[in-house]
Amino acid sequence: MSGPHVIRGSVVLPESELLWRFSRSSGPGGQHVNTSDTQVELRFDLARTEALPEVWKERALERLGKRLVDGVVTVRASEHRSQWRNRETAAVRLAALLAEATAPPPRPRKARKVPRGINERRLREKKQKSERKRGRSGRDWT
């Protein structure tokens, strides 16, 4: 692998907690595709990991709930013809997925009063549109 895959800050995916599985991939490759296991399946036990802070782990378990099977998140990669590149792709995807899932929630939106000018413009445009449509219904309009 090309080094540690950082989730965010100093938190890194530990290589010891990653489970790799390889299988034959569909797609391009000619004779080579029949003999090599280039598709990569990367599994990470999110429920039992010690690498993530407890708050991040809870947040990720909640956000990735439908994607998890017994607390394990799985990522597949088979775009490339080489196993090495598919391994890289799967690891980067997993790190990005975990970074997104552990991100802090957005700040709540504060309700603001709609500016008077925006409301006036909306009503003016609405009136112009109705006048235009009313003008189309005349008898001499063809």
pLDDT tens, position by position, 49-95: 888 888 988 888 888 888 888 888 999 998 888 888 999 999 999 99
- Given a contact cutoff of 8 angstroms between Cβ atoms, the answer to whether 83 and 36 are in contact is yes
pLDDT the model gives residue 51: 84
**SS3 of residue 110 by DSSP:** coil
d(CA 77, CA 98): 16
pLDDT band at 43 (very low <50, low <70, confident <90, very high): very high
- Return the closest-CA partner of residue 20 out of 47, 33, 1: 1
Could you tell me which residues come within 8 angstroms of residue 14 by beta carbon, excluding any fewer than 6 positions away? 49, 51
Q: Is the pLDDT of residue 33 over 90?
A: no
Question: 67-76, pLDDT tens digit by residue?
Answer: 888 888 999 9
Three-state DSSP class for residue 89? helix
